[in-house]
Structure 1
Amino acid sequence: MRDFVTRQGEIRREVVPTQSKSLAAAALRARDLMPVASAPGRSAQRAEAQADRRFPMRKAFLEPKISDPNGFERVIGTSNLLSINFLDRGRRAAAAVCRIKAPADGGAWYGTGFVVGPRLLLTNNHVLSTPDEASQVEAEFGYEHDLDGVLMEPIAFNLSPHEIFYTSSELDITFVAVTPLSQEGIPLARYGRLPLLPVTGKVVHGEWVSIIQHPGGEPKQIAIQASQIMALDQADVPEVDLDTFIHYSSDTEPGSSGAPVMNDQWQVVALHHKAVPKPQDKKDDPLEFIANEGVRISAIFKHLESQRFCQAQAGRVLDRLEMSLGLAPMRRAVDSDEGLLEADRRPLPLSRWTQVSGYDPNFLSHCIDLDAIYAPALAGGLVAPLRDGLSHELAYHHFSAVIHKERKFPLVTAVNIDGARLIHPGPRKSTWRRDGRIADEYQPGGEFYEKERGSDPVQFSRGHQVRLLDPCWGDDGADIRAYAEDTFHYTNAAPQVQGYNDIDWGNLEDYVLEKAQTANKRLSVFTGPIYRPDDPLYGQDREGGPWRIPLSFWKIAVLQKTQTQIAAAAFIVGQVQYVQALYEAKVFSGLKPYTVDEMRQRGIQTTIEAVERETGLDFSAIRRFDAQGSLEVTRRTHWLRDLRDVVI
Structure 2
Amino acid sequence: MLKGIVDRGKISEETLLNREAQIEKEALDRFLKESSKRDRENVTMTASDDMLIARKRVINKKDSLAMERILGQNDLVPILYLQKGFEVGKSVCRITIRNKVGNVIGSGTGFMIGNGIIMTNNHVIPDIDTAMCAIAEFNYQNDENFMPCQIYYYKMNPKKFFITDKSLDFTIIAIKKELSNGKSYEDFGYIKLIPEEGKVMEGEYVSIIQHPKGGPKSVTLRENKVKHIFDDYLHYMTDTEPGSSGSPVFNDQWIVVGLHHSGVPNPDSKGEWIANEGIRISSIANFIGKEYSNLNSDGKKIVGEIFPDLKIKDLNDDQKNDYKDDDTSDDIPTNVRTGYNPNFLGKDFKVDLPKLNEKMEKDVSRMKDGNYVLDYVHFSIVMCKSRGLAYFTAVNIDGENLVKIKRSDDDWRFDTRINIENQYGNEVYNKNDLDRGHLVRRNDPNWGEHAYQANEDTFHFTNSAPQHKDLNQKIWLGLEDYILKNADKMNIKVSVFTGPVFKEDDMIYRKKFKIPADFWKVVTVVKDNGTLSATAYIQTQENMIDDLEFAYGAYETYQVPVRKIEELTGLDFGDLSKYDPIANVEFSGLRITDENDIRL
Please report the TM-score for the alignment, with normalisation by the length of structure 2.
0.53
SS in structure 2 opposite 1:150?
Answer: coil
Give distance in 1, aligned partners of 2:372 and 2:89: 58
1:443–1:508 Cα change, 3 Å: farther
Give distance in 2, aligned partners of 1:641 and 1:259: 41
1:154 aligns with 2:151: yes
SS in structure 1 opposite 2:88?
Answer: helix
SS in structure 1 opposite 2:288?
Answer: helix
- Partner of residue 7, structure 1: 16
Give distance in 2, aligned partners of 1:489 and 1:109: 45
Sequence identity of aligned pairs in percent? 22
- Partner of residue 177, structure 2: 180
Correspondences of 1:536-555 after superposition (within 5 Å):
none
Does the CA contact (< 8 Å) of 2:380 and 2:395 recur in 1? no
Does the CA contact (< 8 Å) of 2:162 and 2:174 recur in 1? yes
1:102–1:496 Cα change, 3 Å: farther
Give distance in 2, aligned partners of 1:113 and 1:203: 21
Correspondences of 1:589-604 after superposition (within 5 Å):
none
- Partner of residue 532, structure 1: none
Match for residue 94 of structure 1 among 78, 89, 97 = 89
Does the CA contact (< 8 Å) of 1:464 and 1:492 recur in 2? no
Give distance in 2, aligned partners of 1:508 and 1:298: 38
CA offsets 1:449-477 (integer angstroms, 9 cap, x no match):
xxxxxxxxxxxxxx9975489xxxxxxxx
SS in structure 2 opposite 1:316?
Answer: helix
Match for residue 638 of structure 1 among 524, 543, 550 = 550
- Partner of residue 505, structure 1: 472
Give distance in 1, aligned partners of 2:160 and 2:441: 38
Give distance in 2, aligned partners of 1:500 and 1:262: 35
1:53 aligns with 2:53: yes
- Partner of residue 110, structure 1: 107
SS in structure 2 opposite 1:7?
Answer: helix
Shift of 1:308: 3.7
1:346–1:113 Cα change, 3 Å: closer
Correspondences of 1:15-30 after superposition (within 5 Å):
30=46
Shift of 1:360: 6.9
Shift of 1:258: 0.9
Shift of 1:293: 3.3
- Partner of residue 266, structure 1: 254
Correspondences of 1:90-489 after superposition (within 5 Å):
90-103=85-98, 108-152=105-149, 154-181=151-178, 184-232=181-229, 242=231, 244-275=232-263, 292-312=276-296, 315-320=297-302, 322-323=304-305, 343-345=336-338, 357-358=355-356, 387=369, 400-402=382-384, 411-415=388-392, 427=398, 442=417, 467=440
Please report the TM-score for the alignment, with normalisation by the length of structure 1.
0.49
CA offsets 1:529-585 (integer angstroms, 9 cap, x no match):
xxxxxxxxxxxxxxxxxxxxxxxxxxx764xxxxxxx974xxxxxxxxxxxxxxxxx
5+ residue gaps in structure 2?
1-12, 310-333, 343-351, 403-414, 420-435, 443-453, 481-496, 517-539, 558-600
Shift of 1:123: 1.0
SS in structure 2 opposite 1:638?
Answer: coil
Aligned residue type for 2:417 = Y
Give distance in 2, aligned partners of 1:128 and 1:143: 19
Give distance in 2, aligned partners of 1:127 and 1:492: 38
Aligned residue type for 1:638 = F
Give distance in 1, aligned partners of 2:551 and 2:222: 34
Aligned residue type for 1:32 = S
Does the CA contact (< 8 Å) of 1:99 and 1:217 recur in 2? yes
Does the CA contact (< 8 Å) of 2:123 and 2:169 recur in 1? yes
Give distance in 2, aligned partners of 1:61 and 1:7: 44
CA offsets 1:320-373 (integer angstroms, 9 cap, x no match):
45457899xxxxxxxxxxxxx982238999xxxx99751576xxxxxxx8978x
Shift of 1:10: 9.1
Say how many residue pairs are matched.
Answer: 419
Shift of 1:172: 2.1
Give distance in 1, aligned partners of 2:234 and 2:115: 26
1:310–1:426 Cα change, 3 Å: closer
Does the CA contact (< 8 Å) of 2:468 and 2:545 recur in 1? no
Does the CA contact (< 8 Å) of 2:440 and 2:458 recur in 1? no
Shift of 1:91: 0.8
CA offsets 1:488-516 (integer angstroms, 9 cap, x no match):
9989943789x999567364865999xxx
- Partner of residue 508, structure 2: 609
SS in structure 2 opposite 1:206?
Answer: coil
- Partner of residue 494, structure 1: 461
Aligned residue type for 2:550 = H
Give distance in 1, aligned partners of 2:119 and 2:262: 15
Give distance in 2, aligned partners of 1:273 and 1:387: 57
- Partner of residue 46, structure 1: none
SS in structure 2 opposite 1:156?
Answer: strand
Shift of 1:442: 1.9
Match for residue 83 of structure 1 among 66, 78, 88 = 78
1:115–1:611 Cα change, 3 Å: same
SS in structure 1 opposite 2:337?
Answer: coil
Shift of 1:128: 0.6
1:60–1:8 Cα change, 3 Å: closer
1:164–1:342 Cα change, 3 Å: farther
Give distance in 2, aligned partners of 1:324 and 1:355: 42
CA offsets 1:92-115 (integer angstroms, 9 cap, x no match):
111111111123598531100112
Aligned residue type for 1:412 = L
Aligned residue type for 2:16 = R
Shift of 1:272: 1.9
Give distance in 2, aligned partners of 1:303 and 1:92: 28
Give distance in 1, aligned partners of 2:235 and 2:224: 10
Give distance in 2, aligned partners of 1:58 and 1:342: 54
Does the CA contact (< 8 Å) of 2:16 and 2:123 recur in 1? no
Shift of 1:641: 6.7
Q: RMSD of the alignment, in Å?
A: 6.1
SS in structure 1 opposite 2:252?
Answer: coil
